[in-house]
Amino acid sequence: MSDGSTEQRDVVVHPGAVGVLALDDEERIVMIRQYRHPVRRYLWELPAGIKDVADEPLIETARRELAEEAGLQAGRWHRLLDFFATPGGSSEEVTVFLARELSEAVPPEDFVVSGEELDLEVRRVPLAEALAAVQSGRIRNSIAVAGILAAVVARGADWGDLQPSG
């Protein structure tokens, strides 16, 4: 601890994750609905995934997840924010990217739909509606909440000061 004492803690060591706030020309974000067993319910989320390919740059993980989960690719990418998901119990660090200039994509050849992805629902939601869903507690996934709030702030600043994707 900060005072030199020791305590016992359970810690989940995590490889990291990415999320993608994909925004179309009509200011709608791409959201997916999928089942999350630990909370025993379906959640509305951003396309996201674990950094599970060794030495893959974060932006490439984000591109892959957007193609796999939403069947989309983006012509313009920025880094929207970085945060620790649950620093009291996990080392998971999340990077959320802003993806724009969306178009259809073919998921990677080796991608196999399984687990939570078997019944994904993909929907485009106006950014203002997504913000209202965060504020009312209808959107509770941490990556989605953080990404939506960061996008609202960035849009309010006319998308200035965005970080490059790499």
**Residue 66's CATH number:** 3.90.79.10
Q: How far is it, in rounded angstroms, from Cα 50 to Cα 14?
A: 9
Residue 162: pLDDT band (50, 70, 90) is confident
Q: Is 0.95 surpassed by the pTM of this model? A: no
Count of CB atoms situated within 10 Å of the CB of 32: 20
Q: How far is it, in rounded angstroms, from Cα 20 to Cα 36?
A: 18
For residue 159, give the nearest of 107, 100, 117, 102 by alpha carbon.
100
Amino acid symbol at 90: S
Region 79-107 average pLDDT: 94
Is 30 part of any domain?
A: yes
Catalytic, out of 56, 60, 116, 117: 117
- Mean pLDDT estimate for the chain: 92
Is the pLDDT at 124 greater than 80? The verdict is yes
What pLDDT, on the 0 to 100 scale, is given for residue 158? 85
Domain count, the chain: 1
- Quick check: is 117 catalytic? yes
Is 6 part of any domain?
A: no
Q: How far is it, in rounded angstroms, from Cα 75 to Cα 63?
A: 10
For residue 33, give the nearest of 139, 162, 156, 148 by alpha carbon.
139
- Which residues span the domain enclosing 110? 17-164
Count of CB atoms situated within 10 Å of the CB of 160: 7
